[in-house]
Amino acid sequence: MRKTYFDHIAAAPLHPQALKAMLPYLGEAYGNPQSLHSAGQHAAAAVDAAREEVAGLIGAASDEITFTSSGSEANNFAVKGLARAYQARGRHIVVSAVEHLSVLNPVKSLEKLGFSSTTVPVDGTGLVDPADVEKALRKDTVLVSVMTANSEVGTLEPVAEIANVCRARNVLFHTDAVAAAGAVPLDVRELGVDALSLAGDQFYGPKGSAALFLKKGTRILPLVEGGIQENGRRAGTENVAAIVGLGRAAAIARAEMADRASRLEPLRDLLIEEMTRRVGHVVLTGHRTRRLPHHASFCVEFVEGEGMLLLLDMQGVSASSGSACTSKSLKVSHVLLAMGLDHALAQGSLIFSLIDGTVREDVDHLLDVFPPIVERLRNMSPLYTQFLKENSR
Amino acid sequence: MMYSDKVMDHFQNPRNVGVIADADGIGQVGNPVCGDMMTFYIKVKDDRLEDVKFQTFGCGAAIAVSSMVSEMAKGKTLDEAMAITNSLVAEELGGLPKNKLHCSNLGADALHAAIENYRLRLKTGGKAAPAAAAAHEHEEGACPYCEGTLEEGQKGYCGACQVDLEECPSCGGITKKGDGVCIHCGKPLRA
């Protein structure tokens, strides 16, 4: 059976060159970068080189990059670390309604410490209006965090415009670019952001490799305190192999980003067009054109996501969903609800995110096996029966 | 795989899917907020379930549970069918993941609602109409979000997954505090 992998947002395969670069640091090159001896200095040089590569991916300077263990850690670090470092300016935070939980939950925990927050809405395509961000700013606003791209619906947010609004009011701006970095061109100077999170596993680097960009001169309180690693911003012995893999993946992404997008975008567009044409009552979620080049997401009416995922898996297709049943929290995706979808429709969520190497035949396979799956589940759905009854009247 | 072979079998080849046009009783349970909805149709002859059919909107577990309930109930007397519990169904299926035990294991409730609907009709002579299930029975002391067991007197917090919990004022189910809606019945929680 043909195996087709459409779950890039969950995990992308490690690039063979990144793996090759990492291997020595899982083997003979085991020195601690903080050590003075040559084994340590060899590892330190590898970490420095990786920092250069990661900085290069987003147009930053290498001393503006702090390595973290995950995109979630980078987001936690930015939100908690910046809000607490600058709380003398005020204790109000602004976020969008579709942020990742690793932004939203730190804001919640800051609220327990006396901070307050405002959530900016999105439109039906998941877009934040910069004017809404401006309206949400108060005298005591210290930080705004709006993501670069949403991993559930693929929408690319107007980050540069929002950064403009924040800069004019002397408010710090962080963007969670975990879903976007390595997939679309990002330049921190052009965007005008103060902080940006990225994760290697989203651009064919290893899991457990991520970074936070912090504009030079920006203060931050560390989450992990201890030694002087990462310039005192994050204590703990460096995960040298992961950092080296991240650096290599960043260098490759920088060189190949445009090529990758030009291969994946036509497949994404084919998937969006054909899916909505071949299956009735399917809606695209997110923006039609302002979206990640490898991302197609839908809501299928009258059926629930988990059933579709299980049946797709039996046909060799890996995908994901934002339905309540597929989440450990037993709640439907807050992103879909924020976009105004009702619960029943949101339960039919499906996300297809393409990895580099996906070919036309993979998309054709998905388009062949999917319609019968939907038909099968609809035939046992009381919601579909009810819909047919109401429509026949 | 998170599901047992038996669950996967019933999910892939569900028994007794469909609608009975001239049903003697109809029962419904669930709502789109939790993501699972089931409708059961029964045909009764000489106090026995001559036919049982169902339709389900929901996850793999919800579909397998419905299928299993229909199989267990068919041919049984009404009293025997009323004795089928959600936990018996889960046992027959070779177990369910813990977080599915609470939100997807509603088949017996829907079947019972259909039988109650039939019995009510016998008394009043009305038409078979979808009847909502009575409040779902909740497993005592289990966290709906993980494998954890809630300690006596610690109902407001799961130590295993570190989630603040509260009892839903509408259905009595344990649900996450601050979620806005109950994961069992979909009704709003107190602010």
Q: Which of A165-169, A353-357, B106-110, B159-163 has the lowest mean pLDDT?
A: B159-163
- Nearest residue in B to A374, CA atom: B57
Q: CA-to-CA distance for A102 and A107, rounded, in angstroms? A: 9
Tell the residue number behind the tokens 């490799």, with chain if given. A209
Q: Which of B30-34, B111-115, B139-143 has the lowest mean pLDDT?
A: B139-143
| Confidence at residue B123, expressed as pLDDT on a 0 to 100 scale | 87
Instruction: Write out chain B residues lying below 8 Å of A310, CB-based.
Output: 8, 11, 60
| Confidence at residue B102, expressed as pLDDT on a 0 to 100 scale | 66
| Confidence at residue B139, expressed as pLDDT on a 0 to 100 scale | 58
Q: Encode pLDDT of A63-109 as tens digits.
A: 999 999 999 999 999 999 999 999 999 999 999 999 999 999 999 99
Beta-bridged to residue B57, according to DSSP, are: B37
Q: CA-to-CA distance for A83 and A141, rounded, in angstroms? A: 10
Eight-class DSSP state of B128: -
Average pLDDT, chain B: 85
Confidence tier at A239 by pLDDT (50, 70, 90): very high
> Taking phi first (over 0 means left), then psi (-120 to 50 degrees means alpha), and beta for anything else, what does residue B11 get?
alpha
Instruction: Write out chain A residues lying below 8 Å of B37, CB-based.
Output: 382-383
CB neighbours of B78 closer than 8 A, spacing ≥ 6?
B44, B47, B48, B49, B115, B118, B119
Q: Encode pLDDT of B124-153 as tens digits.
A: 877 777 777 765 555 566 777 665 677 766
Q: CA-to-CA distance for B111 and B53, rounded, in angstroms? A: 10
Closest CA to A176 of A239, A244, A105, A99: A99
Assembly ipTM: 0.85
Phi, psi of A137 (to 5 degrees): -70, 140
Out of A325, A359, A380, A388, pick the active-site residue: A325
Q: Which residue, among B37, B41, B57, would best test binding to A if mutated, counting the most A CBs under 10 Å from its CB?
A: B57
- Nearest residue in B to A328, CA atom: B145
Compare CB distances from A310 to B32, B54, B60 and report the shortest one's residue. Answer: B60
Q: Which residue, among A109, A314, A347, A379, would best test binding to B if mutated, counting the most B CBs under 10 Å from its CB?
A: A347
- Nearest residue in A to B8, CA atom: A310
Q: CA-to-CA distance for B189 and B191, rounded, in angstroms? A: 6
CA of B59, closest CA in chain A: separation in Å?
5
Q: What is the pTM of this model?
A: 0.89
| Confidence at residue B33, expressed as pLDDT on a 0 to 100 scale | 78
| Confidence at residue B125, expressed as pLDDT on a 0 to 100 scale | 77
Count how many pairs of residues, chain A against chain B, have C-beta atoms within 8 Å. Answer: 86
Q: Which residue has the higher pLDDT, B89 or A1?
A: B89
At residue B163, does pLDDT exceed 80? no
The residue type of A307 is G
Over range B87-111, report the average pLDDT.
Answer: 86
| Confidence at residue A331, expressed as pLDDT on a 0 to 100 scale | 75
Confidence tier at A20 by pLDDT (50, 70, 90): very high
Q: Does B36 touch chain A (CB under 8 A)?
A: yes
Contact yes or no for B56 and A382 at CB 8 A? yes
Across chain A, which distance is largest between two alpha carbons, in Å? Answer: 83
Over range B95-108, report the average pLDDT.
Answer: 81
Eight-class DSSP state of A62: G
Q: Which residue has the higher pLDDT, A322 or A208?
A: A208
Q: Clarify whether B171 is annotated catalytic.
A: no
Tell the residue number behind the tokens 């709003």, with chain if given. B188
Closest CA to A275 of A299, A306, A249, A240: A299
- Nearest residue in A to B28, CA atom: A382
